């Protein structure tokens, strides 16, 4: 059976720790919008660190569920999942799409809890570039002595900002999923991809990494 790799640790090392930078072609958004995005991210980051502080890895089920929600709440799983499937998305029924997004989200959420220490990373914030309902943000993070540039592509839907892609050291997470998932579908079929994802979810659940 084909296999694929989740870049989960890289994906979630800094999932909520965003800062901004300048990128060609992007106009600087209104200061009020920039401030709102930054406040949202800083508050979430602080909430995560508050839970992690002093627990030494011994978290209650309620704390783990809260962490999982905070860590993953910034991600638009439907859009990221749709991009991951590319042209194959159009071939799926409504029920198939819904199941795929549910399982994809569950796997990523479970994997995000595998190394909570990374969310204590030192983060350097900068400006946030906004154009209408799109935002491009950049942060520099430091974890275990290593500095890593992380960029995020955000979209605002229903008044909420969500990440459609996370670019770590120049590597797009969304494109990574697309290469892996589409390769499986191209060589085998969509059902094979779903079987692999379901297996990942079952393994995470049996190992106690998934809290529902």
**171 falls within a domain:** yes
Please write the tens of the pLDDT for every residue from 13-23: 333 333 333 33
**169 falls within a domain:** yes
Residues spanned by the domain of 151: 12-206
**211 falls within a domain:** no
**4 falls within a domain:** no
Q: Which of 174, 165, 123 is nearest to 13 (CA)?
A: 123
Q: How far is CA 205 from the centre of its chain?
A: 19
Q: At what angle do helices 94-111 and 61-72 cross, to 10 degrees?
A: 120
**42 falls within a domain:** yes
Please write the tens of the pLDDT for every residue from 119-151: 888 888 777 899 999 999 888 888 888 888 888
Q: How many structural domains are present in the chain?
A: 1
């Amino acid at each position: 059976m084909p296999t694929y790799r989740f870049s989960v640790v890289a994906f979630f090392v800094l999932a909520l720790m965003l800062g901004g930078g300048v990128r060609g072609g992007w106009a600087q958004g209104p200061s009020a919008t920039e401030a709102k995005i930054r406040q949202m991210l800083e508050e979430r980051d602080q909430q995560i660190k508050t839970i992690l502080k002093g627990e030494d890895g011994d978290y209650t089920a309620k704390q783990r569920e809260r962490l999982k929600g905070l860590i993953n709440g910034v991600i638009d799983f439907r859009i990221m999942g749709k991009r991951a499937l590319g042209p194959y998305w159009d071939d799926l029924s409504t029920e198939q799409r819904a199941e795929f997004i549910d399982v994809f989200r569950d796997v990523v959420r479970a994997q995000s809890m595998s190394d909570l220490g990374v969310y204590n990373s030192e983060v350097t914030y900068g400006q946030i570039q906004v154009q209408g309902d799109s935002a491009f943000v950049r942060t520099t993070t430091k974890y275990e002595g290593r500095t890593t540039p992380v960029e995020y592509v955000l979209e605002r839907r229903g008044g909420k900002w969500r990440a459609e892609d996370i670019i770590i050291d120049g590597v797009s997470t969304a494109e990574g999923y697309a290469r892996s998932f589409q390769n499986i579908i191209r060589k085998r079929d969509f059902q094979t991809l779903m079987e692999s994802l379901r297996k990942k979810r079952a393994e995470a659940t049996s190992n106690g990494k998934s809290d529902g």
